Structure 1
Amino acid sequence: MGLFHDSSNDDTTCPMPRPLVAGSFLYLGATGSNNKANQGTLDASENFIGEYTFHKFNMILSGACTAATCLVILFTMIKHSLRFSNPNEQLKIMRIATLLPIYSILSFIPICFPNSYVYVTGWVEVIQGIALYTFLMLLCDFLAPNDRNRVFFFASLRIPGRMDNNKTTDGLTWLQKTWYLVLQYPIAAFLIAIAECITEAAGVYCLESNNGHFAHLWLNIIRIISLGLAIMATLRFYTNLKSHMQDHKPLTKLLAFKLVVGLVFLEQIIFMILHSTDALKETSKLSYADVYIGIPTMIICIQMVPFAFFFNYAYSTKPYRVNDSSARHGNPQEYLAVEENEAGRTYKSRQYQGGPLGIYAWLAFCNALEFFREITSTYHYLEDREYGVDL
């Protein structure tokens, strides 16, 4: 049985049961015509641990991990809202942070309601795409704090070619290409998520099959290509400019985010291979829903817990704390941020801007229009090379 062809399903009938139902059937073994007696059920015929089937055990374990992830990330976001001294950077950090709890929640829902799996998981990719784009823009903020300074900074760069270091590209052209490669991923993920919902409702998606007749194979290929282009563009951006961001510990921040995206991406490929080769299949303790939905989503819920703690460390609020000595003398708490202009480096003091209990930070975080405004602003200064120079 090949990776992209299900030899057991040469016709156009999807082998996936629709819908999955509650209850258990007798498991008759791996041979014979009844080798999929547990197919179509939420619970296997035998308990996994004690009185619990794997499905119920999975709900308890994944639910606890999801709650832990949400609490850790909420704590991280609250700290940033209370020490909101650099809105541009910290708003992006708060947006990136939401990837982990949303990943956990949208992975936990299909564990409880497996029939929702195809309708839910595609939107996880959309959130991941937004977080990946936001991470790129956070790196840009580390290099230059606003559009004007960004134009001057990248205009002064010459980026070596991939194959030939003697051939270079001007920094703004290279940034423009990188920006488009990363931005295409959330757009592609959004369109793929809609296509998955439509094709699943029409009965032509077929989660189990890698037969080219069904949409599952082709949408997965498009998603993998789109994500791969975005990840490679971001990694190259970091590699070429990491020397300019050492004060921000970019490698730690890169790992805290990229490990999440990269690991889930790798797991998707691994499970695709396992299912295509029948290396992972139903048993007396694992139902169809457990094999195709429960195990992959459980792994995601579990691994988000250590990632949440690592994210809290990598995106610490320490760089955004104001000078404690000013508070002791009754002065407004300020954070000294470095900004560049044509005359060189100047230092501009900033105060905490989160308001009482960080309410202003949370209002800005919830303003989706601000996110799209940033996209249009970046588009303008990339398309108009004179943008910002004559300001």
Structure 2
Amino acid sequence: HTLLKILSGVFLALTLLNTTFHITRHLGRYTVPCQQRQIIRIILVPTVFAIFSFLSVLSYDASIYLRPLAEIYESIGIPAIFMLYIYYIYPDNHSWREILDQFEAQDKRGDFIAGTNLAWFKRTCVSVFQYPLSKTISSIVEIATQGAGVYCINSLEPRYAHLWCEIINIAAIVLAVPHIVRFERRMKEHIDTKHQPVAKLWTFKGFVFLQFVQLILFGLLNGQTFNPTAYVTFDDLYYGIPATITCIEAWIFTGVFIWSFSSTEYTPGS
């Protein structure tokens, strides 16, 4: 447990350094606030996970309540990248009414956007923005059922809340992410390539996907493939090791984000 505390603390510190440097760079070139606000929200996601993961390593008893809180913030990142794409297409619009009106007919250059219509855009918005709501509800249910002793993270039996929370989470993310991917593909000709929209989407998705898969794998394999030893306790396997891995992943992805969510495109005069 002591080793896990040291490792998670070191990688949290490195993650904070990466994020502080990155945000400072954006704030120093804060020339397009509507876009950069979304970027800052996104690049904070790994850092929030690292902070809550470190706290989880410090206190295994609190761990079951901390991770759902980090996941609530993660759910904000999904709509943030969608909003970022919208502001790439319409950088001068801050009104939803203006954005919706333009989706019916023209882009900012006055060109007709083939295959795009208001109904499709509204469906995309609903699919994307349901994710924070769904995730918040499932996280509240998870915290409440953990406290009541009926969650059971290592079981997928219907009598425990774990199965139903996972179903909600899977359905919500499967509904949201593909709509963002389709939106980017349909609108890519109207997004300047200097913004690296694909790199932004896939690096952010990479972190979210890793957290999702990691949670499922450790939930299924603990007690089956992974078992306590003289040196590794049950709590180390369930809480400490996954949380430490998340801290390491957060450090890696905050470094990658410095490239994919670069501030150089916002340099005055660029």
TM-score (norm 2): 0.90
The match for 2:237 is 291
Cα RMSD (Å) of the superposition? 1.7
Report whether the alignment pairs 1:76 with 2:22.
Answer: yes
**After superposition, what is the alpha-carbon deviation per residue over 1:334-361, rounded to whole angstroms, capped at 9, x for unaligned?**
x6xxxxxxxxxxxxxxxxxxxxxxxxxx
Return the structure number with greater helix share.
2
What corresponds to 2:104 in structure 1? 155
CA distance in 2: counterparts of 1:266 and 1:240, whole angstroms: 28
Query: What's 1:248 paired with?
Result: 195
Match of 2:227 among 275, 281, 284: 281
In the alignment, the residues of structure 2 paired with residue 225 and residue 286 of structure 1 have an alpha-carbon distance, to the nearest angstrom, of: 34
Aligned residues of 1:123 and 1:189 also touching (Cα < 8 A): no
More strand by share: 1
Residue 261 of structure 1 corresponds to which residue in structure 2? 208
Q: Is the 8 A contact 1:62 1:302 kept in 2?
A: yes
- Detail structure 1 runs of 4+ shifted over 6 Å in the superposition: none
1:151 and 1:179 mapped to 2: Cα distance? 11
**In 1: Cα distance, 2:117 partner to 2:114 partner:** 5
Q: CA deviation at 1:158?
A: 4.2
Deviation at residue 281 of structure 1 after TM alignment: 1.7
Deviation at 1:272, TM superposition (A): 3.1
Q: Within 5 Å, which residues of 2 pair with 1:94-173?
A: 94-145=40-91, 146=93, 147=95, 150-156=99-105, 157-159=113-115, 170-173=116-119
Pairwise CA distance, 1:194: 1.4
Task: Give 3-state SS (helix, strand or coil) of 2:152's partner.
Answer: coil
Is the contact made by 2:5 and 2:54 (CA closer than 8 Å) also made in structure 1?
yes
Matches within 5 A, 1:1-391: 55-145=1-91, 146=93, 147=95, 150-156=99-105, 157-159=113-115, 170-245=116-191, 246-275=193-222, 278-323=224-269
Show structure 1 runs of 5+ residues with no match.
Answer: 1-54, 160-169, 324-334, 336-391
Three-state SS of the structure 2 residue aligned to 1:213 is: coil
| Counterparts of 2:152 and 2:228, CA distance in 1 | 17
- AA partner of residue 116 (structure 1): A
Q: Say which is worse superposed, 232-241 or 126-135, in terms of deviation.
A: 232-241
Residue 120 of structure 2 aligns with an amino acid whose one-letter code is W
Report the AA paired with residue 56 of structure 1: T
Of the two, which has the highest radius of gyration?
1
Q: CA deviation at 1:233?
A: 1.4
Give me the whole-angstrom Cα distance separating, in 1, the residues matched to 2:59 and 2:44. Answer: 22
Question: What code does the residue aligned with 2:202 have?
Answer: L
Partner of 2:109: none
The structural deviation recorded for 1:153 is 4.0
Count of residue pairs brought into register by the alignment: 259
| CA displacement, residues 197-248 of structure 1 (integer Å, 9 cap, x when unaligned) | 2111111112232222111121122112112211111112122222222231
1:35-88 Cα shifts (integer Å, max 9, x gaps) = xxxxxxxxxxxxxxxxxxxx1111101111011111111111111112111110
Q: For residue 195 of structure 1, what is the amino acid of its counterpart?
A: V
Distance in 2, Cα, partners of 1:155 & 1:241:
13
Letter in 1 for 2:250: M
2-structure distance, mates of 1:72, 1:123? 22
Instruction: Tell me the SS of whatever aligns to 1:204.
Output: coil
User: 1:289 Cα shift?
Assistant: 0.5
Percent identity, aligned pairs only?
Answer: 32
Aligned residue identity for 2:134: A
In the aligned structure 2, how far is the partner of 1:197 from the partner of 1:114?
A: 14
The answer to whether the Cα contact below 8 Å between 2:227 and 2:234 also exists between their aligned partners in 1 is: yes
- For 2:155 and 2:126, the matched residues in 1 are separated by 32
